[in-house]
Amino acid sequence: MRRLAVIVGLVVLVVVSGLAARKFEGVTITVFTQPPPYIAKPVMMFAPDWEKTTGARVNLITAPWGELYTKMYASFSMGVAAYDIVIFPAAWLPDFAAAGFLVPLDDFIANDPYIQWDDILPVYRERIVSWEGKIYAVPLDGDCHIFYYRKDALENPEYQAKFKEKYGYDLPVPPKTWKQVRDIAEFFNGWDWDGDGEIEYGVVEPRRYAGQADWCFFSRAVGYVALPGQPGGLFFDPETMEPRINSPGHVRALEDYVEIIKYGVPGMINMDSGEIRSIFAAGLAAMAIDWGDIGVISETGEESTVRGKVGYAVLPGSDEVWNFAKGQWVKLPEPNQAGYLAFGGWVAGIAHNSQHKEAAYDFISYLSRPENSYVSVTTSETGFNPYRYSHFEKLSGWIGMGFSPEAAEAYLKAIKDTIGHPNVQPDLRIPGQARYFEAVDRALSRVVAGELSPKAALDEVAQIWNQITDSLGRDKQLLYYRLSLGLPPK
Amino acid sequence: MLTPGVLIVLLFSIFPLFFTLMLMFGQVIFSEGKMLIKFAGLANWQRLLQDQRFWNAVLVTLKIVVIAVTAEYVLGLILASLLYQRPFGSGFFRVLYVIPMLLTPIAVGYTWRMILDVGRGPIAGLLKRAGLSPVGWLTDPHVALYSIVLIDVWQWTPFMFLLLYAGLEAIPKDYLEAAEVDGASGWKKFIYVIMPLLAPSSIAAFLLRTIECFKIVDIIYITTGGGPGQATESLTLFGYNVGFRTFDLAYGATIAFSLFFMVLIAAMFFTILTRSLRGIRLE
- Helix A370-377 with A40-54: angle, nearest 10 deg: 150
Q: Which of B229, B244, B248 faces A449 most closely, judged by CB atoms?
A: B229
In A25-84, the residues whose Cβ lies within 8 Å of chain B are 66-67, 69-70, 73-74, 76-78
Complex ipTM = 0.85
- With 0-12 / 13-18 / 19 or more C-beta atoms within 10 angstroms meaning exposed / middle / buried, residue A13 is exposed
Cα–Cα distance measured from residue A444 to residue A455, given in angstroms and rounded to the nearest whole number: 11
pLDDT of residue A171: 98
∠ CA(A38), CA(A144), CA(A72), 5° rounding? 50
Distance from C-alpha of A401 to C-alpha of A413, rounded to nearest angstrom:
17
Q: Which of residues 263-282 of B touch A (CB under 8 A)?
A: none
Pairing of strands B26-31, B34-39: antiparallel
Q: Is B38 on the interface with A (CB under 8 A)?
A: no
Q: Is A269 on the interface with B (CB under 8 A)?
A: yes
d(CA A458, CA B262): 33
Select from B15, B29, B30, B31 the residue whose CB has the most chain A CBs within 10 Å, as the one to mutate to test that interface: B30
Average pLDDT over residues B153-174: 94
Residues in contact with A290: Cβ distance below 8 Å, sequence separation at least 6, in sequence order: A145, A146, A148, A273, A276, A277, A280
Q: Which fold has domain B52-277?
A: MetI-like fold (1.10.3720)
* pLDDT(B1) > 80: no
d(CA B126, CA B122): 6
User: Residue ranges of the domains in chain A?
Assistant: 10-139+346-384, 143-344+415-490
Beta strand A138-139 pairing with A201-204: unpaired
Per-residue pLDDT of chain A (490 residues; tens, 9 = 90+): 566 665 666 555 555 555 456 789 999 999 999 999 889 999 999 999 999 999 999 999 999 876 788 788 878 877 777 899 999 999 889 889 988 899 999 999 999 999 999 999 988 898 889 988 899 999 999 989 999 999 999 999 999 999 999 999 999 999 999 999 999 999 999 999 999 999 999 999 999 998 999 999 999 999 999 999 888 879 999 999 999 999 999 999 999 999 999 999 999 999 999 899 999 999 999 999 999 999 999 999 888 999 999 999 999 999 999 999 999 999 999 999 999 999 889 999 999 989 999 999 999 999 999 999 999 999 888 889 999 999 999 999 999 999 999 999 999 999 999 998 989 998 998 988 889 999 999 999 999 999 999 999 999 999 999 999 998 899 999 999 998 888 888 8
Which residue from A minimizes the CA distance to B225? Answer: A209
**A10-139+346-384 and A143-344+415-490 in the same fold:** yes
Distances (CA, A) of B41 to A93, A471, B250, B254, B255: 32, 17, 11, 12, 15
Class of domain A10-139+346-384 (CATH, top level): alpha beta
Amino acid residing at B221 = Y
Is the CB of A209 less than 8 angstroms away from the CB of B225?
Answer: yes
C-beta of residue B78 within 8 angstroms of C-beta of residue B139? no
Asked if B153 reaches chain A (Cβ–Cβ under 8 Å), the answer is no
- Backbone φ and ψ for A340, nearest 5 degrees, come out as -135, 120
All residues of chain B having their beta carbon less than 8 Å from the beta carbon of residue A208 are 225, 227
- With CA atoms as reference, report the closest residue to A318 among A248, A391, A399, A258: A248
CA-CA distance, B168 to A442, in Å (whole number)?
A: 48
CA distances from A120 to A103, A115, B87 (A): 20, 9, 73
Pick the CATH number of A143-344+415-490 from 3.40.630.30, 3.40.190.10, 3.40.50.2300, 3.30.70.141: 3.40.190.10
CB B75 within 8 A of CB B160: yes
| Record: contact A352-B33, CB cut-off 8 A | yes
Interface of A with B in 421-450 (CB under 8 A): 434-435, 438, 445-450
CB within 8 Å: B227 and A451: no
Q: Does B44 touch chain A (CB under 8 A)?
A: no
Domain ranges of chain B: 1-41, 52-277
Please indicate if any CB of chain A lies within 8 Å of the CB of B138.
Answer: yes
Phi, psi (degrees; rounded to nearest 5) at B164? -70, -35
Cis status, amide bond into A174, omega within 30 of 0: yes
Contact B244 A67 (CB under 8 A): yes
Residues 6+ apart with CB under 8 A from A195: none
* Prediction pTM value: 0.88
Instruction: Inspect the interface and report whether the beta carbons of A77 and B35 lie closer than 8 Å.
Output: yes
**What local confidence, expressed as pLDDT, does residue A21 receive?**
62
Helix H or strand E encompassing B193:
none
Q: How far is B272 from chain A (nearest CA, A)?
A: 40
- The one-character DSSP state at A161 is H
Pairing of strands A130-131, A85-89: unpaired
Q: Cβ of A449 and B227 within 8 Å?
A: yes
Task: State whether A78 and B119 contact (CB < 8 Å).
Answer: no
